[in-house]
């Protein structure tokens, strides 16, 4: 069965420093997609970055980059130059491989606190 | 604002009452999803619509839950005879199938508290 594991319940980082949020996944399907979402205290899930299993390069979106290590089945999110507004829950998710619905399977999340 | 909207944002109800939530997706999105998120967990899939057809339901969706998308636009999620275990955030998301990423755009959620 497909599964997403986020082992860091909470992380602290100093403003302007970089931070890595860990995510490992489990699937036997060769075709899959991985997402990171940010959830502020307001509750809305905000899409950050996407990595397809066949993408040749690691995804980057502004200050966000994804450290994709396919053999290790990991897709860690790197946030560079942290800002106070980055304080939020971060969820790693996988699009259900082989399914027709493209539903997302989420991890349990990591709460990031950016300190001034 | 052309994002996904959900109403109400908060709902407090007594055990045994029925509640209904509404989701208005982004207008051109024909795919619509409902998820449930309990405290300290990630969202869990409940059900999926493509246009007006409900194509998949999770085992989490007991007989007390029903969802509709009558004209392929907005969707409603009804919970009958609510139980305290139904207390959660109910999230709606929509997407376009043609997009390679198939990014799901989420609404702000409806937080349900059953007392």
Query: Does A36 touch chain B if contact means CB atoms closer than 8 Å?
Result: no
Residue B99's pLDDT is: 66
| Phi-psi category of residue A28: left, alpha or beta, with phi > 0 → left and psi -120 to 50 → alpha | alpha
Nearest Cβ partner for B43 among A46, A102, A106: A106
- Tokens encoding A16: 């302007």
- The model's pLDDT over B17-32, given as tens digits with 9 standing for 90+, comes to 999 999 999 998 999 9
Nearest Cβ partner for B91 among A45, A93, A108: A45
Interface contacts (A, B; CB < 8 Å): 63
Query: Does B94 touch chain A if contact means CB atoms closer than 8 Å?
Result: no
**Dist. CA B114–CA B106, nearest whole Å:** 23
Answer whether residue A81 shows pLDDT above 60: yes
Mean pLDDT of B84-88: 96
Nearest Cβ partner for A106 among B42, B95, B102: B42
Answer whether residue A99 shows pLDDT above 90: no
Q: Which of A50, A37, A17, A33 is nearest to A88 (CA)?
A: A37
């Amino acid at each position: 069965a497909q599964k997403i594991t986020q082992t860091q319940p909470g992380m602290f980082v100093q403003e302007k420093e970089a931070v890595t949020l860990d995510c490992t996944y489990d699937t036997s399907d060769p075709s899959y997609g991985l997402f990171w979402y940010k959830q502020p205290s307001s509750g809305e899930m905000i899409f950050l970055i996407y990595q397809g299993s066949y993408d040749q390069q690691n995804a980057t979106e502004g200050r966000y980059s994804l450290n994709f290590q396919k053999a290790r089945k990991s897709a860690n999110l790197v946030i560079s130059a942290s800002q106070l507004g980055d304080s939020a829950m971060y969820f790693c998710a996988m699009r259900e491989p082989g399914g027709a619905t493209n539903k997302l399977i989420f991890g349990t999340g990591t709460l990031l606190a950016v300190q001034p | 604002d052309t994002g996904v909207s959900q109403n109400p944002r908060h709902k407090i109800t007594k055990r045994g009452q029925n509640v209904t939530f509404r989701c208005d997706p982004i207008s051109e999105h024909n795919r619509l999803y409902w998820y449930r998120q309990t405290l300290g967990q990630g969202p869990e899939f409940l059900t999926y619509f493509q246009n007006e057809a409900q194509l998949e339901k999770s085992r989490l969706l007991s007989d007390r839950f029903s969802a509709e998308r009558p004209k392929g636009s907005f969707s409603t999620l009804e919970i009958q005879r609510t139980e305290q275990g139904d207390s959660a955030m109910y999230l709606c998301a929509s997407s376009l199938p043609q997009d390679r990423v198939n990014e799901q755009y989420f609404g702000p959620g409806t937080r349900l508290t059953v007392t």
